[in-house]
Structure 1
Amino acid sequence: ILHQLFIGDSRDAGIAALLETVFNQVLRAQSAEQLGADKYERNEDRTALRNGYYERGLTTRVGKLTLNVPRHRDGSFSTELFTRYQRSEQALLLSLMEMVIQGVSTRKVANITEELCGTEFSKSTV
């Protein structure tokens, strides 16, 4: 990851990999805090059990991040890292809305976001 950060062509990829690693560590720490125990730790303060994780995509200015969101057996895990059902960074969505307000067609907006972010947005999303 550090090697990617200092090379000019893959700098955004390095920043994306670094952000992905940091966000996944934050999610694991929040899970441990809510459960009252780390992974494989047995104690009387534990409130629930882990039940794996699911992958969730988050689109940011530096690229698409894949986050491993923890699951708890009782379904109690919650995070404020991103709001529920939010899959794109707010600044990216605001710029999409501004393009539409300025009169850019939805097809052109979808093409621009695919070129800039490497992610396709449907016409209905735009």
Structure 2
Amino acid sequence: MAHDQITVDAQLLHQLFLRDTKDEALAKLLESVLNQILQAQATEQLRAEPYERTEERQGYRNGTYPHQLT
């Protein structure tokens, strides 16, 4: 498995330390991380970034979108 870098919004990190928005911020942080993992897995599976055309490409990214955590 490839090692990918997860980026985190500084505003979400700041909200984790505020009393009133802690649960909502944690949910948004988890959602962001999971969506990045899904994108990385799709890239690894297809052997190509979105819209990248290469000889090694193994398929298509039909209809991908960020998923909302419920």
When normalised by structure 2's length, the TM-score is 0.73
- The answer for the alignment partner of 2:46 in structure 1 is 35
Number of equivalent positions: 59
- The answer for the alignment partner of 2:9 in structure 1 is none
- The answer for the alignment partner of 1:23 in structure 2 is 34
Instruction: Give the alignment partner of residue 48 of structure 1, picking from 40, 59, 68.
Output: 59
Higher-Rg structure is 1
Secondary structure at the counterpart of residue 51 of structure 1: coil
- Structure 1: distance between partners of 2:65 and 2:23: 25
Q: CA RMSD in A?
A: 1.8
For structure 2, the 5+ residue unaligned runs are 1-11
When normalised by structure 1's length, the TM-score is 0.42
Bigger relative contact order, structure 1 or 2, given CA contacts below 8 A and separation 6+?
Answer: 2
Contact 2:47–2:57 (8 Å) recurs in 1: yes
- The answer for the alignment partner of 2:6 in structure 1 is none
Contact 2:35–2:67 (8 Å) recurs in 1: no
- Structure 1: distance between partners of 2:47 and 2:35: 18
Q: Identical aligned pairs, as a percentage?
A: 54
